[in-house]
Structure 1
Amino acid sequence: MQVDEDAVGDVVKRLRRAEGQIRGVIGMLEDGRDCAEVVTQLAAVSRALDRAGFKIIASGLEQCVSGSAGDDRKANLEQMEKLFLSLA
């Protein structure tokens, strides 16, 4: 199952933002910034990564519902459920 092209653009954008946030967290640690500030930024990175993962799963679910039938649909939905739970 492929990720929808529209979803890919959105996910890449979110991942690039998370990449920048991670660089920022590294800089904060190297500069000796306050622990609470660092953890706050780590939480933001975590949310960005979760959103990227959920976007991919949502795209897959949409494909499962609209494009599959019978046993294929059930197998695809089970696969998406496992992926979703891995992010939870």
Structure 2
Amino acid sequence: MANTPSAKKATRKIAARTEVNKARRSRMRTFVRKVEEALASGDQAAATAALKSAEPEIMRAASKGIVHKNTASRKVSRLAQRVKSLGV
């Protein structure tokens, strides 16, 4: 357990940052899930719209350090590939 005032403050800061990160991660996952649901329904227009709104959200999470930059790029790339394959 933290004893010094600085350690107690650090614990509070970590807890606050964790809450923010959880919210950001959850928001990103929600946007990804919307794309997944649109893909499952087979509606390319809805999937394209969902991807268009999900992409900046995923990249924002990467810029905030929630996910690695390459992980975010890979997610966007794979989702875009799946949306594109709906039209074929």
TM-score, normalised with respect to structure 2: 0.46
